[in-house]
Chain A
Amino acid sequence: DADVTQTPRNRITKTGKRIMLECSQTKGHDRMYWYRQDPGLGLRLIYYSFDVKDINKGEISDGYSVSRQAQAKFSLSLESAIPNQTALYFCATSDRDTNTGELFFGEGSRLTVL
């Protein structure tokens, strides 16, 4: 089983719908991240969480919200999806103890907003 699991892997939805992307990890890391990948733009940070009570906005947080339900679970929500949120979304974790910033990624959730 993957250490970082994202669900769903693919989702097609309509404008205005609420969408939740879920991430769970078995690596025991305290730090979790949500990134968005768009062609030609690389990965951009949406939100990050250094522990259950510490959640921070990244560079492109508008239109998104997150919930850290437990150390192992970090969900990303789109309250009212719009077409320009069509993208590939990645959850990642890192280990505070090693403190290098090395990220461990899930396999991604491809979201299409019609």
Chain B
Amino acid sequence: AQSVTQLGSHVSVSEGALVLLRCNYSSSVPPYLFWYVQYPNQGLQLLLKYTSAATLVKGINGFEAEFKKSETSFHLTKPSAHMSDAAEYFCAVRGGYQKVTFGTGTKLQVIP
């Protein structure tokens, strides 16, 4: 069994401030982990993925995430928020048999 918990359904940051979106996972097998972004009225697109190589993963648009096995976490960060980062972000885990389980999502608001 696998699951993902995203802490905070809504996060607000000022433009230029650090973005930190939290994700904790549970998996009975070594996990693959993902962050997806959904802009309004669009489908989901991949931001970044962890597939057991480097624990610090860099993605698109300046985002990165660090896999911490001891904390079962995969938090998403960006040093400086931009207005275009306003979207909903989903953490996801792939456990056994390629089934992917999503978290409940975090809506990021960027305040000018």
A residues adjacent to B (C-beta < 8 A): 4, 31, 33, 35, 40-45, 48, 50, 58, 90, 94, 99-103, 105-108
Interchain CB contact under 8 A, B99 and A48: yes
**Inter-chain contacts of B100 with A (CB < 8 A):** 33, 45, 94, 101, 103
Report how many residues on chain B are interfacial, defined by Cβ distance under 8 Å. Answer: 23
| Partner among B9, B44, B94 whose Cβ is within 8 Å of the Cβ of A100 | B94
**Inter-chain contacts of B46 with A (CB < 8 A):** 102-103
Give CA–CA (A103, B49) in the complex, Å.
11
Interchain CB contact under 8 A, A42 and B94: no
Besides A58-B99, A103-B34, 7 more A-B contacts (Cβ < 8 Å) are: A100-B51, A101-B100, A102-B34, A102-B49, A103-B46, A107-B42, A108-B43
12 A-B pairs within 8 Å (CB atoms) are namely: A4-B43, A33-B100, A42-B90, A42-B102, A42-B103, A44-B102, A90-B44, A100-B49, A101-B32, A105-B44, A106-B43, A107-B43
Contact with A along B84-112 (1 / 0, CB 8 A): 00000010101000111111110000000
A-B contact count (CB 8 A): 57
Closest beta carbon of chain B to A29's beta carbon, Å:
11
Contact with A along B33-65 (1 / 0, CB 8 A): 010100000111110010100000000000000
Give CA–CA (A58, B100) in the complex, Å.
10
Closest beta carbon of chain B to A89's beta carbon, Å:
11
Closest beta carbon of chain B to A80's beta carbon, Å:
27
Interchain CB contact under 8 A, A99 and B43: no
**Inter-chain contacts of B36 with A (CB < 8 A):** 103, 105
